[in-house]
Amino acid sequence: MSRLEIPVPDKAQTVVEQLYKDLERRIEASPLGLCPIDMTKAFLELCHAQTCGKCVPCRVGLRQLKNMISDVLNGRATMETLDEMKETAVSIMETADCAIGYEAANMVYKGLVGFYDEYVAHIELGRCNCTYKQPVPCVSLCPAGVDIPGYIALVLEGRYQDAIRLIRKDNPFPTTCGFICEHPCEARCRRNMVDDAVNIRGLKRMAADLAGKVAPPACQPSTGKKVAIVGGGPGGLSAAYYLQLMGHQVVVYEMLPKLGGMLRYGIPNYRLPKDRLDDDINAILETGVQVKHGLRIGIDITINELREQYDAVLITIGASTDKKLGIDGEDANGVISAVKFLLDVGKDAAIDLKGQEVCVVGGGNVSMDAVRTAVRLGAKKVSIVYRRRVADMTALHDEIEGAIAEGVEVQTLKAPVRIETEDGNVKGLWVQPQMISEIKGGRASVKSTGEPEVLLPCTTVIVAIGQDIESKHFADAGVPVNRGVIQTGRHGGFDLLPGVFAGGDCATGPATVIKAIGAAKVIAANIDEYLGFHHIIQSDVEVPQPNLADRNPCGRVNMTEREACERICDFDGVELPMTEAECKQEASRCLRCDHFGYGVFKGGRKTLW
Amino acid sequence: MVKLTIDNKTVEVPEGSTIMDAANIAGIPIPKLCFLKDINEIGACRVCVVEIEGKEKLVASCNNQVEEGMVVYTNSPKVRRNRKKTVEMILSQHNSNCATCARNRNCSLQTITRDLNILDVPYEKELYPLPWNKNFPLIRDADKCIKCMRCIQVCDKIQSVKIWDVEGTGSRTGVYVSGNRKIEESDCVLCGQCITHCPVGALRERDDTEKAWWAIENKKKVTVVQVAPAVRAAWGEVFGIPKEEATMGKIADALKRIGFDYVFDTVFSADLTIMEEGNEFVERFKKGDTKQMPMFTSCCPGWIRFVKSQYPHLVSRLSTAKSPQQMFGAVMKSYFAKKIGVAPEDMVTVSIMPCVAKKGESNMELFYEEYAGKDVDIVLTTRELTRMIRMAHIDPKTLKDVPCDEPMKDGTGAGVIFGTTGGVMEAALRSAYYLIKGVNPDVDAFEEVRSSREQPKWKEALFKIDDITVRTVVVNGLANTRELIEALEKGDVHYDFVEVMACPGGCVGGGGQPIKDGYELATDRSVNLRQLDENAPLRFSHENPSVLKLYEEFMEKPLSHKAHMLLHTDHNAWEMPQVNR
């Protein structure tokens, strides 16, 4: 009849396609701590089901691999089994006709190399020593261990003040984190298995918005001990808050005029309004933390003087100096580091960019802050110059999108080679076109296309390729430092310098606010122990019982933003709050993993630390 | 109060009640397997699920609270269908050879299977047995485990010893000895609380009844058996004998009919323990030895295993007195053996204990003049005693009160209360007072130390005897004990004399006692022992005529050289796996 036919989707196939999507989301939410060998077996079964069945290695070999893995799991394998598995996997990799076969075998092979010790342990013990490490995914993944299901339940009940109190047990920056936390908690939210992760960060922001001013808890009786904290950023202030609550007198040394560190002088006001940052800082200061402004460590006062004057010293100086590009012309007028550029804006001493053309080098969050700030300072044209692709940028997706919406140009696959100058002033940025290339260490590398260099005309170059730590003074004083990063033990202290501790970016390299807060908790506890105490930090807020409603699929409420054309004219906050109805709906999406699932058995809630 | 409807019945229950509590108030018992009040409220078995009107998914009733106006169905077709499916799933991974299981006819899974009329399981049977050292006093059959997690929770929360843990992930998740250890290499204190809280037969004591039958059968052997105080408070539960009728005399009758040659009551050696331990305490107290750290009682082998593994530096703070079980064994193989003209190697000493740790305790080799052997050769739990009574097909109704044998026939009320928390302390104080003052105190003078399973943390009591104050404390359960030791070591509290019993409520709540799933019977049994004390003609250990005669004829006096050789021990003579925490 007809020579050709229009294909109609097969009904079964349509459902399978949906199931693939379900599986994708499920894998995204896969808990930590699962037995990697058991998972390999599961993956292998999926791969084997995909085989077309034409070729021997894929059709038969994958099954034999699966049998051998089963033997390992069932305590029937020997070390010879592992050798045979390796040989079989390599053979399939080398002989299979298509990727269905050789990539499946490659997964097994990667595991045999990557978690060989686990294989051996299974064989030697005849038992699996893996344990479930993620009873409540969001809490497990929050570096500060904030009681997320707890405060979401409080938000659901409209108890916003209690939500803030509960968050402060683990994080004294609820408002700040409500605006700018990178929310690692959302990554493996179990709600992903139903539809999409809960908007945890957004709910925290709503709690902060709706709670109003919430006083901190009372301090425990004074211990008479004094602790100096060098650096008033999120890490330093968090430690100060907890140590003060424990009854120690904390004095924060901050060389800049105001507290907050990178939160004030790095993150632009449109992302984190400074009056909202002050809400958190004021609550911290209300506990009685003292502050000394303007003293620079190593110049005005030394670490050793602090050691003499205080019972303990904590270094939380952050990572506040810039990294250099190391190309010709970098010392020309008009080249500025992103750190310095944003610091000046924070100090109300921004450079004038009206009518200028600006290139910002780098693809991280600081780069996005720089371009969007440059737009607000009136630049005529602002471009991001980046060696790789947009997909390779480390900046949050929303930040990149926000920048593009605000008219920022994105020049990808362009490696800066030198800065063109005229009379000592920037005239442009020469870049070498790149092409994306081999994947190395999980990341796509780039190489030159061999095309001629291109000049991007501009009058200002902002360098946002990373930050360094001003650790020289500390190194001179005997603090262990490696490549600029202060090297502490896992307790945040130093074996050879009792009473001195360090944490946050200066001890890890540039990281996130919530990581600095998490480190501050650890160090506050360890300073307390060092001082000879065992104070407990807890909250008296009772978490509501979970509601028993069915969790039917429901879309995630995302935050909306002010119109781009309007918001680029000022530095006011960009993000709009949820409505209360949206907030309630979003809070009701939480699956309460603290109560349903493993959390009710083990690791569901830490009420104190 | 919250008003709701359960199975068309309107009930009003306190706010915060679980659906299961509310149903109980309404007279509707909801079937359950993993639930254990206050200990394991994790909704793991899904047997207790109920339907809530307007909700698609069933809800576990054990750990979800009632809401105003809630309409609950505990037995709707949907609930019944799903509950049955769930139990079928559990059965597919459970070794259901019920006929040969120690928990046959006392198994929650068996009961629920019957109640749900499951006659056929549609699933393939998948059993995962694991190797186990069958010589260890605690036996675990992995293929009977239903992963209710109770053993983990009891050991973590009540005892803080954390022997059990979840092992493996995904479909292979199971329960095993924590930290990849073997049980015999672990710091298991052998309290047996995991056994008495197991809903099925996955955990049990090593069965030593055959050894006892062998000894009875062997013409060359003289069998001598002792029965611990707490046994009389519990054995009758198994046969449905009311507690006032379930006497020690009837146990003696049963043991005689089973074929034991001599039957004794451990109450005798409890009194003897008081003579030794009481004198030791008075001596140590007077020397100022308890000024920094107290003296601890040593009659509970679970506690001894605990202190040796967790706080080895405190072993020297233990009384050196053997436990009543071991003392009696030593007396049997020396004094009594001589009396009846039997060589100690021809004597088999047996004890009936409410305890699993006693099986471990009896393991030490000791010397009696030129003969080396054990104080007690075979230790049987209360449960094993009831099994022997069944094996001998004795009709419990026909049992009569018969006295124990001479010359260790007597026991006092003070010895009887050894089986309950606070009892050792009270008995010791009654006699210590006499030792110091030369006259008896009022018998109820020390009632302040009477504790119970429900007592939070520990019970302290200060006693003034003339111008001296003795600071005493009584603790039961090892999590409480750990807290107490930590408070002592921090200097937050200070005592002279500490009584520790590893099991909640003391030996009455011991790991070798009869099991009634879902019920904690320790306190009822304690009341029973206290009544026996109240009604006893003698209530001071130092007045026990048999004990006095033993000293007169053999041991000379408390703490004499002979007493030291036979009635005291070196707690460092054996090794316990150490644990770093």
Assess whether A384 and A439 both reside in one domain. yes
Per-residue pLDDT band for B580 (boundaries 50, 70, 90) equals: low
Question: Which of A449, A466, A483 marks a domain boundary?
Answer: A466
Provide the residue type at B325 as one letter: Q
The class of domain B220-581 in CATH terms is: alpha beta
Q: Are residues A379 and A390 in the same domain?
A: yes
Report chain B residues whose CB lies below 8 A from the CB of A127: 167-168, 176, 180
CA B416 to chain A, closest CA, distance in angstroms equals 39
Q: Within B116-200, where are the H helices?
A: 150-153, 193-196
Q: Are residues A444 and A341 in the same domain?
A: yes
Residues A484-495 have pLDDT tens digits of 899 998 889 998
A480 cis-preceded (ω within 30 degrees of 0): no
Preferred mutation among B169, B183, B490 to probe A, highest tally of A CBs within 10 A? B169
Q: Is the pLDDT of residue B53 over 90?
A: yes
Residues 126-165 of B with CB under 8 A from A: 149, 165
Verify that A252 and A202 share a domain, yes or no. Answer: no
Structural domain tally of chain A? 4
Produce one character per residue of A326-338: b if its CB has 16 or more CB atoms within 10 Å, e if not. Answer: ebebbebebbbbb
Tens-digit pLDDT profile for residues B384-429: 999 999 999 999 999 999 999 989 999 999 999 999 999 999 999 9
Q: Looking at residue A339, what is its pLDDT? A: 93
Q: What is the pTM of this model?
A: 0.91
Of A130, A550, A600, the CB nearest to B63: A600
Residues A424 and A488 in one domain: no
> Are A342 and A313 in a shared domain?
no
Percent of chain B with pLDDT over 90: 92
pLDDT at A108: 96
Phi, psi of B254 (to 5 degrees): -60, -45
Q: Which of A425, A490, A480, A421 has its CA nearest to residue A455?
A: A421
Residue type for A393, please? Answer: M
Kindly determine whether residue A38 and residue B171, on different chains, have CB atoms separated by under 8 Å.
Answer: yes
Query: Of the candidates B65, B165, B169, which has its C-beta nearest A38's C-beta?
Result: B169
Would the CB atoms of B167 and A127 count as touching at under 8 Å? yes
Q: What does the block give as tokens for A180?
A: 């700018």
Residues of A with Cβ-Cβ distance to B169 under 8 angstroms:
33-35, 38, 128, 130-132
Query: CB B63 to CB A595 under 8 A?
Result: yes
Percent above pLDDT 70 for chain B: 98
Residue A308's CB is within 10 A of a number of other CB atoms, namely 8
Spell out which chain A residues touch chain B, with contact meaning CB-CB distance below 8 angstroms: 33-35, 38-39, 42, 73, 125, 127-132, 545-546, 548-550, 595-596, 600-602
For A50-84, the pLDDT digits (tens) are 999 999 999 999 999 999 999 999 989 999 999 99
Residues A422 and A327 in one domain: yes
User: How many CA atoms, within 13 angstroms, populate the side-chain half-sphere of residue B399?
Assistant: 28
Give the pair of three-digit tokens for residue A220.
């425990």
Across the interface, do B52 and A130 touch by the CB < 8 Å criterion?
A: no
Q: Looking at the domain assignment, is residue A4 inside a domain?
A: no
Q: Which has the closest alpha carbon to B291: B99, B108, B471?
A: B471
User: Do the domain assignments include residue A525?
Assistant: yes
Question: Which whole number is the average pLDDT over A589-606?
Answer: 92
CATH number, span B138-205? 3.30.70.20
pLDDT digits (tens, 9 = 90+) for A572-589: 999 999 999 999 999 999
Q: What is the pLDDT of residue B367?
A: 66
| CA distances, B143 to each of A15, B97, B202, B300 (Å) | 38, 11, 7, 32
User: Apex CA B9: angle with CA B6 and CA B14, to 5°?
Assistant: 65
Region B166-181: mean pLDDT is: 90
Whether A458 and A332 share a structural domain: yes
Q: Which of A507-511, A585-589, B500-504 has the lowest mean pLDDT?
A: A507-511
* Cβ pair B170:A35 closer than 8 A: yes
Q: Is the pLDDT of residue B370 over 70?
A: no
Same domain as A153, residue A116: no
B166 and A602 within 8 Å at the Cβ level: the answer is yes
Asked if the structure places residue A607 within a domain, the reply is no
- Residue A170: which domain range? 143-215+539-547+556-600
Q: Which residue of B has its CA nearest to A546?
A: B64
Does B63 contact chain A (CB < 8 Å)? yes
CATH code for position A77: 1.20.1440.230
- Are A550 and B42 within 8 A, CB to CB? no
Structural domain spans, chain B: 2-115, 138-205, 220-581
pLDDT bracket for residue B468 (50, 70, 90) = confident
The complex's ipTM? 0.85
Distance from CA of B162 to the nearest CA of A (A): 13
How many CB atoms within 10 Å of residue B436?
Answer: 16
- Name beta bridge partners: B8: none
Q: Identify the pLDDT of residue A298.
A: 83
Q: B296 pLDDT exceeds 80?
A: yes
Segment A104-155, tens digit of pLDDT: 999 999 999 999 999 999 999 888 878 887 789 999 999 999 999 999 999 9
Do B169 and A130 count as a contact with CB atoms less than 8 A apart?
yes
pLDDT of A132: 80
Domain identity same for A249 and A172: no
| Residue B59 in contact with partner chain A when CB distance is under 8 A | yes
The type of residue at A64 is: Q
Please name which of B502, B536, B541, B475 lies closest in space to residue B276, comparing C-alpha atoms: B541
What's chain B's average pLDDT? Answer: 95
The residue out of A70, A96, A125 marking a domain boundary is A125
> What's the Rg (C-alpha) of chain B?
25
Strand residues in A257-340 grouped as ranges (E): 290-293, 312-315, 321-322, 335-337
Looking up residue A278, the CATH number of its domain turns out to be 3.50.50.60
Taking CA atoms, B490 is separated from A250, A334, B485, in Å, by 27, 64, 8
**Residue A496: pLDDT band with limits 50, 70, 90:** confident
Identity of the residue in A34, A545, A600 whose CB atom sits nearest the CB atom of B169:
A34
Distance CA A345, CA A358 (A): 16
Contact B180 A129 (CB under 8 A): yes
Domain B2-115 has CATH 3.40.50.2000: no
Residue range A218-256, pLDDT digits in tens: 999 999 999 999 999 999 999 999 999 999 999 999 999
Does residue A609 fall inside a structural domain? no
Instruction: Assess whether pLDDT exceeds 60 at residue B581.
Output: no
Instruction: Answer whether A550 sits within 8 Å of B59, measured CB to CB.
Output: no
Domain C-terminal end among A466, A481, A503 = A466
The answer to whether the CB of A109 falls within 8 A of the CB of A93 is yes
Q: Is the pLDDT of residue B360 over 90?
A: yes
Q: Tell me the count of A-B CB pairs closer than 8 A.
A: 57
Using CA coordinates, name the residue in chain B closest to A598: B42
